[in-house]
Amino acid sequence: MWKKLEQHISNSRSNRWYRYFAIFCRISLAVAFAISGWVKISGERFAAGLPSNHPLGHYFDALLDTGFYYTFIGIGQVVVAILLLIPRTTLLGAIAAFPIMINIFVLTYSVRFEGTRIVTFMLLANFFLLVWDLQRLKAIVSNKELHAKPEHSPTNKFPYIFFSLVLLTLATVIGVNQIMYDIRPGNSMEECTNGCLDSAAPQASKQFCDCIYKRGYNLRTCLDQFEKAKAIELGVEGVK
């Protein structure tokens, strides 16, 4: 199976549409890293529109106060962006970006950030770039000499199955994110309270929003209060 996978990847590299997709992933990741890094180098708070009382807002405020460490992170992200844009160093950039993306992925999901979908897409794009250069990556990991494989004839055949799987994966990420949490803080008080309308426990949900944005408590405390208020609210409605 492993040899078949390597053979399929080798064949795919000669396909124009796969190459376009790899270039799209490279540029998308590079732009995201460049913007994020430049904001930090400039000394500005990342996601300035995100309220300080938001769980991720607490994190960004604290990160901004770390001084030159904040700048150091920004420089690292810009370097990764440059590596991704240069064809010869794309693999190095993808390797450097991968642990950063995993860290951001876990962070955004842990605080129930609305941008989890985009972060997931970026992580998948990063993973694709690693797989795209599997031959070179294998040589680095195994510490073996890289032998050039014979090039396949260029092809323009559109890979319908691959791009159908890409669309299915994107839809799955969006769908799972839509149902995986009972409640999210949103990106603002208004966004949070708007989500209360469709909640099974609207009063408990509103209390959660007040806990986050008006009282400024941490996410864990507000979630604990939400679960207790939700149980009481649903219990009262059950009696009625």
Residue 201 lies in a domain: yes
- Residues 209, 162 share a domain: no
Q: Is residue 152 part of a domain?
A: no
Give CA angle at 180 (229, 208), nearest 5°. 25
CB of 229 within 8 A of CB of 236? no
Residues 45 and 84 in one domain: yes
Q: Which pLDDT belongs to residue 219?
A: 92
Task: Please enumerate in sequence order all residues whose Cβ is within 8 A of that of 11, keeping only pairs 6 or more positions apart, or say none.
Answer: 152
- Same domain, yes or no, for 23 and 125? yes
Considering the domain architecture, whether residues 167 and 221 belong to the same structural domain is answered as no
- Asked if residue 174 and residue 233 are part of one domain, the reply reads no
State how many domains the chain has.
Answer: 2
Answer whether residue 171 is part of any domain: yes
The whole-angstrom distance between residue 143's C-alpha and the CA centroid of its chain comes to 30
Q: What pLDDT score was predicted for residue 7?
A: 81
Per-residue pLDDT, 234: 86
What are the CA-CA distances from residue 7 to residues 2, 14, 114, 117, 168 (Å)? 9, 12, 38, 31, 24
> Same domain, yes or no, for 174 and 206?
no
Residue 73 lies in a domain: yes
Its pTM stands at: 0.87
CA distance 9 to 185: 41
Ranges of residues in the chain with a pLDDT under 50 are 238-240
Residue 132 counted as domain residue: yes
Is residue 37 domain-resident? yes
Domain that holds residue 226: 189-239
Which pLDDT does position 3 carry in this prediction? 77
Give me the residues paired with residue 155 across strands: 15
Residues 234, 115 share a domain = no
The answer on 172 and 209 residing in a single domain is no
Pair 163, 202 in one domain = no
122 lies in the same domain as 224 = no
Q: Are residues 54 and 111 in the same domain?
A: yes
Asked whether residue 38 is assigned to any structural domain, the reply reads yes
- Position 199 scores a pLDDT of 83
Model confidence pLDDT, tens digit, residues 165-214: 999 999 999 999 988 888 999 999 999 998 888 888 899 999 999 999 99
Residue 162 lies in a domain: yes
Q: How far is Cα 193 from Cα 150, in angstroms, rounded to an integer?
A: 59
DSSP 65: T
Same domain, 199 and 121: no
